[in-house]
Structure 1
Amino acid sequence: MSKVIRIGTRDSELALWQAKNVQAALEKLGHKTELLPVKSTGDLNLDQPLYEMGISGIFTKTLDVAMLTGKIDIAVHSMKDVPTALPKGIVEAAVLIRANSKDILIHKGLDFLNSEGTIATGSLRRKAQWLNKYPSHSSVDLRGNVNTRLKKLEDNNWDGAIFAAAGLERINLTPENSLDLDWMIPAPAQGAMLVVAMENDTETRDILKSLNHRESEICVHMEREFLKILEGGCTAPIGALATIEGNEISFKAALFSLDGKKQVSIERRIAIEDAPNFGKECALKVLNNGGRVLMEGIKEALN
């Protein structure tokens, strides 16, 4: 390919790491690239909880505009930040091999787990699951990039904060005082990186096919299909995780009330060949098993 592939990315340390990872893979294949960092609306407004901002794709919209106006050729995202419906003209071009999908707790000692405590997180999903397990605890909102959130935890009297394990691992910031939250269901597509391109740019899309990891793609699409049917996005506490084990896919997912007191969950195993539409099937079961009423209550509380 003779043209330079212009790579759009947010300008946080983690986003740049992800984009440089894609850049290195493309250059290894012999392609010329250029990195173009931008600030997203979600990065600029750190004073307001995400669910209050009412914008779909708060971390991706700026890059969408840059792509649609021809300023960049591809964009690299944390897939969990990407809306389930992409803007017209933009398509998924590659899902990279998934990293650690877990959430982890960064703490100042674990004695508080058996008493009262305060946890920091900007995620309704993490807050709901934490309060479900630790109903005597309280939570505070925490926004910003990874480095900013770690500094805020250090500067405040909170007992701990919840992070995506993959984000800390990618930029070598996982501290010793961390605990894997094996019981917490992650966000759909957590730990996965997505590269998007223009639908009509067949040359670039053909190149990106070689970066796609099929097993990761199958799993995250199932999780995001579940999310889409439940109408989640950033406005509902929804977790979903699909993992491939041999010739089967193990799928577990749940919808929680905002206070964590109620949940509707599902756990199933299927053959890999039955993957298409399975996320939708599971979401409909959750909706019909009390999830629809739960979603109505969540929307009413957030509006």
Structure 2
Amino acid sequence: MSHIHRIASRDSSLALWQTNAVMASLKQLGYPCELIPLKTLGDINLVEPLYAMGVQGVFTKELDTALLNNQADIAVHSLKDVPTVLPKGLMIAAVLERASNDDILVHREGFDPAKKENAVIATSSIRRKSQWLKRYPTHQLVNVRGNVGTRLKKFEDEGWDGIIFAKAGLERLNLLPKHFTVLNWMLSAPAQGTIAIVCRKEDKDAVIACKKINHEPTEICISVERDFLFHLEGGCSVPISALAKFENEHIHFEGLVSSLDGTRELKVTRKFLTSDWKKIGKAAADAIRQSNEGKLILDEFRKLNRNTNG
């Protein structure tokens, strides 16, 4: 076990926290590790909304390249940032136990979104924007980019009424503010709250090491969610939500696809025996694709993507 595993990570505070968690787990098992911090397109371009960039993997490509060029052995990601189809030769070798999948609203003291018609809410996620506008159609949604600390500072400086975060990120950095509300009505992104570990398929040493820290219940649930996303051909440019949870001997799944402005949405709910978990994602996606409403929503995004990509 003397081989040093070179671990690539984005250099944001949250990404480094996640990578250090993986490194700690591997070191506990006797695997030496070396950190390799990198910047990605998503870290450099902090102006353009993610969905408008026209590419997938804006937070992962540079780490993938480091793996494929043998400049790193392992890469650590927030799994919700990882495309459903990885570059040839790479694999998700493990996931850590899922943290909270909740979205939260960080807001001004006393703010009630139901009582302010012209509220201004910040988010860079079209999934969050769509679900928020469905519930509060008169609110203004503004784009915000940057790492967690940058976005919190922008919230303080800009005078917005609220800003939406993944709860897990703020908890990991011990940055949960005094005034926040869990958005228990908002369906989360596929694999939200999950740390993924990617490596080369051919690197058996890295694969074996990572498999030892894999959390299988999390792996099953996020695989269902990502399968749903895959069969809907979704990414950062489509508001797709999904959540799978164990319920006794079953897995309960909720999936949602919605229009950008929140005026149309289609939700699907499925319950399967745990032993049939591999069927759930595709079955739920098929239900969306075969419905008239689902076809309308997905066609809207196909046209939008064609226009965006020229």
* Distance in 2 (alpha carbons) for counterparts of 1:129 and 1:248: 27
For these two proteins, the number of residue pairs brought into alignment is 303
* Distance in 2 (alpha carbons) for counterparts of 1:257 and 1:243: 25
Pair 1:21 & 2:21 matched: yes
* Distance in 1 (alpha carbons) for counterparts of 2:210 and 2:112: 48
Q: Which residue of 2 aligns with 1:295?
A: 298
**Are the counterparts in 1 of residues 123 and 142 from structure 2 also a CA contact under 8 Å?**
yes
Task: Please tell me the residue identity of whatever aligns with 1:102.
Answer: D
Q: Which residue of 1 aligns with 2:158?
A: 156
1:166-185 correspondence to structure 2 within 5 Å? 166-185=168-187
Equivalent position to 2:269, from 258, 267, 270: 267
User: Structure 2 unaligned runs (5+)?
Assistant: none
Equivalent position to 1:133, from 132, 135, 138: 135
Q: Which residue of 1 aligns with 2:54?
A: 54
* Distance in 1 (alpha carbons) for counterparts of 2:205 and 2:301: 43
1:1-303 correspondence to structure 2 within 5 Å? 1-108=1-108, 109-116=110-117, 117-289=119-291, 290-302=293-305, 303=307
**Are the counterparts in 1 of residues 31 and 209 from structure 2 also a CA contact under 8 Å?**
no
Task: Please tell me the residue identity of whatever aligns with 2:52.
Answer: E
* Distance apart, 1:97 and its partner CA: 0.4
SS in 2 for 1:294: helix
* Distance apart, 1:301 and its partner CA: 3.5
* Distance in 2 (alpha carbons) for counterparts of 1:277 and 1:231: 17
SS in 2 for 1:162: strand
* Distance apart, 1:111 and its partner CA: 3.2
* Distance in 2 (alpha carbons) for counterparts of 1:167 and 1:80: 12
Task: Please tell me the residue identity of whatever aligns with 2:266.
Answer: V
Deviations 1:7-55 (A, max 9, x none): 1000000000000000001110011110111011100000100111111
* Distance apart, 1:292 and its partner CA: 2.0
**Sequence identity, in percent?**
49
* Distance apart, 1:277 and its partner CA: 2.5
* Distance in 2 (alpha carbons) for counterparts of 1:149 and 1:244: 33
* Distance in 2 (alpha carbons) for counterparts of 1:23 and 1:113: 44
Task: Please tell me the residue identity of whatever aligns with 1:13.
Answer: S
* Distance in 2 (alpha carbons) for counterparts of 1:277 and 1:271: 10
Structure 1 stretch displaced more, 289-298 or 216-225: 289-298
- TM-score normalised by the chain length of structure 2: 0.96
**Are the counterparts in 2 of residues 75 and 196 from structure 1 also a CA contact under 8 Å?**
yes
**Are the counterparts in 2 of residues 10 and 40 from structure 1 also a CA contact under 8 Å?**
yes
**Are the counterparts in 1 of residues 60 and 77 from structure 2 also a CA contact under 8 Å?**
yes
- TM-score normalised by the chain length of structure 1: 0.98
* Distance apart, 1:112 and its partner CA: 3.9
Deviations 1:214-249 (A, max 9, x none): 110000000001011111100111100001122111
SS in 1 for 2:141: strand
**Are the counterparts in 2 of residues 225 and 277 from structure 1 also a CA contact under 8 Å?**
no
SS in 1 for 2:55: coil
Q: Structure 1 segments of 4 or more deviating over 4 A?
A: none
User: Structure 1 unaligned runs (5+)?
Assistant: none
* Distance in 2 (alpha carbons) for counterparts of 1:299 and 1:173: 38
SS in 1 for 2:88: coil
Deviations 1:55-79 (A, max 9, x none): 1100000000011111100000000
* Distance in 1 (alpha carbons) for counterparts of 2:277 and 2:17: 31
* Distance apart, 1:94 and its partner CA: 0.3
